[in-house]
Structure 1
Amino acid sequence: MSLEGLSINLATVRQQWGLKDAVEACLKLGINAVAPWRDQVEKQGLAESARIIKDNGVRVTGLCRGGMFPAATPEGLHAAIDDNKRAVDEAAALGADCLVLVVGGLPVGSKDIVGARQMVADGIAATLPHARACGIPLAIEPLHPMYAADRACVNTLGQALDLCDALGDGIGVAIDVYHVWWDPDLATQIARAGRNRQILAHHICDWLVPTKDLLLDRGMMGDGVIDLPGIRRQIEAAGFLGPQEVEIFSAENWWKRDGMEVLQTCIDRFRTVC
């Protein structure tokens, strides 16, 4: 299996390397697609990050992350919109396939999840014209319901696609198996996304049993319970044939290992279990 179908989200090796070293390590192993995070780009410098990417012919399957729209004040919402427009500019400078949106949860002190979801819709709507002008698709990433309060009040693929349908061109979804594998409506919603070509990214890892930390204990592919080949078949049948992007947060395991070991394991599991 060619490594053309593999991308590494640089969160997977964020404790081992900065952007430059991570890209160089990926290239040594034949991986030519990555997805950096904005803090990694900022630390390296946007211009230097763009040079590293372009000089090495590396594909950027996504920039993480925009979003975090809900706010307790109008000023906070405006600030979030401004930050998302900057994120669009960064994604454009890197030549990214999309800007991934983790949309945000409840504002501090709020219990109004309906209102938070409206803020998300309003914030994306305000960001979209700039994203369209820059040629950067926005990819809503629905997160597991356990994150509804603090990270993302859009929790199913169906919810995300409803937003896409309401907002029009220039927006789609990032399907992260960690967040959606459990959804009994997943196959239907993947097929729905395919009809309008709304799948912009496919993130992979695994769900461990037991999971010791709901944020920082994601599993390497094959170590958990997610039917990775089955979801991949559904996504490819829906028309998305882009790279599978490995995104693993693992404070007590993979972040403590040698970076080359992590990348080689990603390659091995991609070839054998995905």
Structure 2
Amino acid sequence: MERHQHKEVTEFIVHHREEFQNKLLSEAKEVANKINDILQSGNIDLLKNAEKMVTYVVEGKENELISFAKQEGVAWAEHALTLTLKLEWVHAIRRALWYYLFQYDQQNTHGLNISDYRLKVFEMEKRINDGIDKFLNSFFISYSNYKDELLNAQRKMVEHLSVPIIPISPYIAVLPLIGVIDIYRIHTIEEKVLMDISSLKIRTLIMDLSGITDMDIDVIHHFQRVLSGISLMGCEAVITGLRAELVRKMIHLDVSFDEYAATKGTLQQTLTEYFTTNAMESI
């Protein structure tokens, strides 16, 4: 299609807006049942956005189409709208658009021979389908990127919550660790520990490992580096609750935490010792 024809097609569809929208809704019954809910919950006007998408596709406005697709991807991901609904809606737009392109052709292709008509249809099909495919591709990438960023942020928040540094006096804090410590979590522990030592002015950090049954080799070595960092910040690290399984593994690996941390039996015994010592010093 020539550029002036692009405008003519969009004007034709806008002129028949109500019929186009009804056709669109009849092609996407599942979405049609939820169109008002989507508008109210996400402020997403599906019919208005469909017309915008059709305009960009028909008029070959690729940059605007891709930018719009990215905005749509974020909006759908942000409001937890499903990809299934989006696919149904876009395919409905494709079918409705082709229906009205056919109607337009019926009124504007008189006098073309069959060869020219086939060439025109082929070029139109390529332009329209390529445009819709570009929209879908950009939409899915934007949707996926937003979801990934959201999941990473949520995971980081959960991981930080799983590193609860609890002040028990102006300069002493306890860090009880439970569950599996993988390489990702040990990085979170490192970040949280060093930041909190600085912000809370911690002089002694008691790390209770009674809830940890195992660490792999890389995590054990990284844990040593965390203890080194604690020492470099002028804080005393105390480890309690080392379990037999982990100690045996450290013995076989010829690894020890003694260089950077004091090791004691249970958390309860250690707290009793520290509070008794502090009480005696305050007398």
TM over 0.5: no
Q: Which of the pair has the greater relative contact order for Cα pairs under 8 Å at 6+ separation?
A: 1
Larger helix fraction of residues: 2
